[in-house]
Amino acid sequence: MAAEMGMAQHARHHDQVLRERLARTRTLIVGGPRHVGKTAACSALSPKFLDWNNLASRLVILEGPEAIIKHLGLERSREREVTVVIDNLHGSRNWKGLLRALNTHFGATRYGARLRLVVTTLDVPRGPGSGLPVSSHILRLHPWSVGECVRTAPADSPVKAPALISDVDWAALQEHGGFPEPFAKRDPRFTRRWRVKRQQELLDSDLLRFAAVRDPAIVQKLALLLAERSATHLIYSDLSRRLGVSVDTVRRWMDLLVELQYGFRVHPWFTRVPKALRKEPQWFLRDWSGVTDTKARDRTFVACHLLKAVQGWTDLGFGQFELRYVRDKLKREVDFLVLRERRPWFLVAVAHDAALNPALRYFQTCTRAPHAFHVVLNGQFSPTDCFEQAGPVVVSARTLLSQLL
């Protein structure tokens, strides 16, 4: 109970952002992994709610837009604006086509001008060829982070001033992860049970429901192998040999696990980097609390924070951001590189001591990134703005991550 009292007691940032976005668009697509809070956040937007996982709701959805309008009583509604929430639409294999049909039909009816459609899904493709309605807005939700623990208002710029996170919140993030339930309860036994349940949902339910594969057991084996390899380079040939399938098959299954939000890949950046690696991505689990190796867990912890930042900044309209890493054939490596408008912005090397990583200066020179940070995981917080310093600089994780989303 004492630990729970230390938790930041404020509404999550995305609650306000969802309402702001909904006021400006007709179709809002909310993505993110299981148990991140999509249903709770979106169901609060409207009582007119359908859930694909509910068989009665699924029948209404499959019958089409007219059935949805009738089922929710929209013909009789006298509200100025009506919001319809459809949860877990990714359960339909053709969910993007279904979404386009809903969008087109709603727009063509006399209710179109006042209807707002909110859809939740797992992975949300972006850019040309995504198959999404042109007018739709995307918001990807993420677990709790340092920035969300120290700040109550949604971001109005990519980088904020440093703010001190409490010791109890910092310890809870590291031990229990950022997913809302285990982060709030802060009970080791609950966290272990929750983690096992989440793994079983992916391996026993999601793969069977959403994956058109002949042998789900082999995909499950791949997922279990990857659970032990967070913060490592993906060698597809090694995985194909372990599983007894082709490299192309492993790549397709990796795409599936990323789509199901089991983890994510970070690809190398090679522009202006002599002898740079170009193909091997790094793999990270979405739940860093389940990583047993200390160094791998710390790198996964930082990776998840940086992913939340780059996706959040992009979705909020601050620009186009990406997460990469840098490595060359001489085995010099920096863990992460954040791009802003396709240009290197800042480098991050994760460490446990203050001895500056020599590759930081080298790759900062190569990439011309304005900032380079040697991040000490358990370093002391400093109120100094990390982004006011240009050259390679040693900073604490508490300081740098507090400046992000």
Q: Where are the domains of the chain?
A: 2-140, 146-402
- 135, 26 Cβ separation under 8 angstroms: yes
CATH topology of domain 2-140: Rossmann fold (3.40.50)
- 117, 105 Cβ separation under 8 angstroms: no
Cβ atoms < 10 Å from Cβ of 17? 18
Kindly tell me if the per-residue pLDDT of 149 is higher than 50: yes
Choose between 112 and 25: higher pLDDT: 25
pLDDT band per the 50, 70, 90 thresholds, residue 74: confident
pLDDT band per the 50, 70, 90 thresholds, residue 2: very low
Kindly tell me if the per-residue pLDDT of 8 is higher than 60: no
| pTM as predicted | 0.95
Kindly tell me if the per-residue pLDDT of 4 is higher than 70: no
What are the structure tokens assigned to 206, written together? Answer: 């999601």
